[in-house]
Structure formats: C-alpha cells, structure tokens
Amino acid sequence: MDVLRITGSQPLEGTITASGAKNACLPIFAATLLTGETCVIENAPDLSDVRFMGKLLEALGAEVERPAPNTWRITAKEIAHRAPYDLVRKMRASVCLLGPLVARMKQAEVSLPGGCVIGPRPIDLHLKGLSKLGCEVEVKNGYVFVDAKNAHGGHVFLGGRHGSTVTGTANLVMAAVMTPGITRIESAACEPEVVDLCKMLLSMGAKIDGVGSHALTIEGVERLGGTTFRVINDRIEAGSFLLAAAMTESNVRVEGAEAEHLAALLDKLEEAGLDYSIESADAIRVRGKPGSLKPVDIITLPHPGYPTDVQAQMCTLMSMTPGLSIITERIYPNRFMHVPELQRMGADIAIEGASAIIKGKSSPLSGAPVMASDLRASAALVLAGLAATGDTWVQRIYHLDRGYEKLDEKLRGLGAKVERLPDSEMPKDEDTAA
Ligand code: EPZ
C-alpha cells in the first residue's frame, strides 16, 4: 500500500483546480441506466469510486467506454435488474442503482449497502419513498427487492432525523421520472450535486419542477433519451484546497471553486478573518498566514448549511487557530475519526458527544505518522501535514484516492513537498525515535 510523505511548512503559491464532483458523478452514472440510448458524461473525476461505478454498470449489462480519462460513454441497451452483493457492498453509493432500475425495469434487486467508519448508513428513507410511489418493497437476505409493476406518482416527505437525504433524493427522483403520474417530494435534498443530477435528467427529457429547492414536482414520462452532460466541479475538493491555503503561508488561486456552492464555508472563513477574494464565477484566491485567524463555531447541516464533508478539514484549521472553537456534527455524529490522528500531531481537541471542542494553538502541529480512516478525514490529515513542522506520513491513502483526483500531484504544483511512496519507505519506529 502507498503512503504520502508530506514535509510541512512550505509556502504554497500558484493555481490549483478542482476536478469533477464525485458525489454528482456517481448518481449521474446510475442515471444512464434510465435509457437505452448513449450518454456521454464529461468532466468525470478519475477516481476509484467512479471507476467502480463504471464496473457496476457493466456488470448490469451496459456498454461502457472511456474515450478520454475524464469522459465516459455509456449505453445501457439491455440491462439486468439485480445488482450483486459482492460489488454493491464495496461502495455505499451503489444504492443509487435502485431508482433507475425501478424506473427502467419496473423491478430491482440491490444488496443493502454496508455501513462505514463515519456511522450507520441507513436507507429507510429511500425505501419509504419507493413505497409511497406504490412499489412493493421487501428487505430479505441482505437485499432490497422492489416490485414496481403498479408504481404511480405519489407525495413523499423525505426528511429524516438528520434532515434531508442526498442519495435518497437522487434515488426517488430517478424512480419518479419514468413512473406514470405526478410525484411531489417534500424535504428533498438540494445539494449542488442533486441539482446537477436533475439538470442531467432534464437534458434527457425528464419533467422536473423546483430544481434547487427542497420541494420537487416530477411528471413521469414514457421514456428518456441519451445526452451529453458535463459534471459540475467538486465543491468539497475546492473547499479542501481553500482550507489548505488558509492554514499555510500561501497565495493560491483555486479554480473550479464556485462561490455559490461554497457559501456556508466562505461565510465561516470570512468570520475567521481569512484574506480571500472571489476572482471569477469559479475561482477564489486565498492569501494564507498561519496563526492569523480567529476561532469559529460550526454546526454541520444539510445544504445550504455548512457541509459535513468539510468538517474534518475545518477541525484541522481550527486546531492551529489560537482560541476555542466548537464544531458540532448534526449529519454524522460520530464523524471524528480524524481527531485522534490530529491529536498525535499535537492538536488539543476533546470530543463531547457530537461536538469537537478545539483549543487552537498558535504553535504549528508537529509532523507524525498518521492513519487515514475515511475520505474526508484523510484530507484533513494531508492538510495538517502541509501546515505542520517536519514530516507527516499519511497511511492507507486508498481512502484519499476514492475522492481526490491526483491530490499529491496537484499539491506539488503549488510547491508543496508531497511524495507518494510505498509503505516500506516509512521510517521504522527506532529511526523516528532516534
Ligand atoms: C451523501 O451521502 C454523500 N455521498 C456524502 O459524502 C455526504 O456526506 C452526505 O451525502 C451528506 O451530505 C454521496 O453523495 C455519494 P444522506 P448519503 O443520505 O446520501 C441519514 C463523501 O465523503 N439517513 O444525505 O449517504 C444518514 O444516516 C461522502 O463524499 C437516514 O437516516 O447521505 C445521515 O445521518 C461521505 N435514512 C443523514 O441522513 C436514510 O434513508 C444524511 O445522509 C438516509 C439517510
């Protein structure tokens, strides 16, 4: 397995660009199952999760080609309605196959997704929504069986104890676009990635009103056509780059950073006193100065609230911002796997329930060997390494490869000292003790 060696405290300078959005691309790939015509998806990030979704579509019978690294051509002429356990269990987002299979095949058999380190990942709201469309839903032997022969439009309230559900909304919209009748979804998720999926469906001939709001109205149509669609840039990756610049001596332009998709993060960075400027519709410049910020309190919420996917990265920034910050997770209350690793680097953070109480220091963190645990926690550790003194060795970086395209290469483009090495290169304990 590979590790990243990061030699910290390097000033960062130049331009870094966010790739296509993973969390838009995955449901958009699933949506290609809704038609037998060809769909061309552009600006798809070259990530292990995206390649895996491509494999899943092929396993269902779709013809999948990659005319270029970030362009996919998918034709789902004849497909099966059963998504196998040995594939689905490897990636939670595979649950997005449910909606299109129900719409196209009027039946679906999809393995229940596993949980993951950030917490239980239930799909009760997905199944409630399908039932409201008149589907017969049964969970048996680790699979969800859906019979949609008599499906019809319905009225669904999709909110749960943690608010709206992103992939739940994606699934329900993809089921409803080819289900006869009118479907109304209240408390729908309105993340930019959900909006992007709806725009792709509209380009295929779907009838959806209220896109971008928490209330969607969908009129089912007989069939959908193929399309050529460009995935939006990844606001979470862009936000991670903004935070990397905020915690280092830097003058960095982040491209693919659409300010309207990052309003909650930018609001908090402004409150913290970060020197940044919006240079165009999708470019933001950051002039970072370590220790110059003020602490902020954050509560993660569904969009347009503060995104849970940039919570870990903000913990890193606040651990080196003098003063007391409280970061509370309302989406995944246990999403603090990055904290023990940041503590290894000298961060002073206490977890109280769903909150991280952070006593930020003016002195920088110190580099150390740390363990990645999930996608965004890994990013938080890479950022910490960039700002820390000495070397940080981030292990299990396959987590990073799921959601950040060529991260080490992009950071080197800013002058960061980041190397991807085989884990055999890691110093043995006795070396570091010396
Ligand atoms: C999507 O996951 C993203 N993944 C996650 O990004 C992101 O953190 C999350 O939305 C929240 O923004 C993809 O889009 C592939 P949810 P999703 O359904 O759809 C509860 C990353 O790092 N819930 O919006 O699975 C759930 O437990 C990943 O890129 C139910 O209770 O999240 C959670 O507490 C991590 N019942 C909350 O709702 C349900 O049926 C939000 O979950 C569904 C969800």
116 belongs to the catalytic site: yes
pLDDT on residue 433 = 45
Ligand 1: residue of 22, 50, 139, 162 to mutate (most ligand atoms within 8 A of CB) is 162
Q: What would the 3-class secondary structure string for the chain be?
A: CEEEEEECCCCEEEEEECCECHHHHHHHHHHHHHCCCEEEEECCCCCHHHHHHHHHHHHCCCEEEEEECCEEEEECCCCCCEECHHHHCCCHHHHHHHHHHHHHHCEEEEECCCCECCECCCCHHHHHHHHHCCCEEEEECCEEEEECCCCCCCEEECCECCECCHHHHHHHHHHHCCCCCEEEEECCCCCHHHHHHHHHHHHCCCEEECCCCCEEEEECCCCCCCEEEECCECHHHHHHHHHHHHCCCEEEEEECCCHHHCHHHHHHHHHCCCEEEEEECCEEEEEECCCCCCCCCEEECCCCCECHHHHHHHHHHHHCCCEEEEEECCCCCCCCCHHHHHHHCCCCEEEECCEEEEEECCCCCECCEEECCCHHHHHHHHHHHHHCECEEEEECCHHHHCCCCCHHHHHHCCCCEEEEEEHHHCCCHHHHHC
Selecting among 39, 96, 116, 198, the annotated active-site residue is 116
CA of 391 to the centre of ligand 1 (A): 34
CB of residue 241 inside a 6 A radius of ligand 1: no
pLDDT on residue 398 = 92
pTM of the model: 0.96
CB of residue 403 inside a 6 A radius of ligand 1: yes
- State which ligand 1 atom lies nearest to the alpha carbon of 170: 19
pLDDT on residue 120 = 78
- Mean pLDDT for back-to-back runs of 10 residues, the chain (434 residues): 94 98 98 98 97 96 97 97 86 93 97 76 94 96 94 97 96 98 98 98 98 98 98 98 97 96 98 97 96 96 97 98 97 95 98 97 94 93 98 95 95 98 83 45
Look up the CATH number of domain 22-230. 3.65.10.10
Closest C-alpha residue for ligand 1 atom 34: 331
Do 2-19+233-432 and 22-230 fold alike per CATH?
yes
Q: Is 92 annotated as a binding residue?
A: yes
Classified by CATH at the fold level, domain 2-19+233-432 comes out as UDP-n-acetylglucosamine1-carboxyvinyl-transferase; Chain (3.65.10)
CA of 423 to the centre of ligand 1 (A): 32
CB of residue 388 inside a 6 A radius of ligand 1: no
pLDDT on residue 91 = 87
pLDDT on residue 186 = 98
- State which ligand 1 atom lies nearest to the alpha carbon of 167: 19
The domain limits of the chain are 2-19+233-432, 22-230
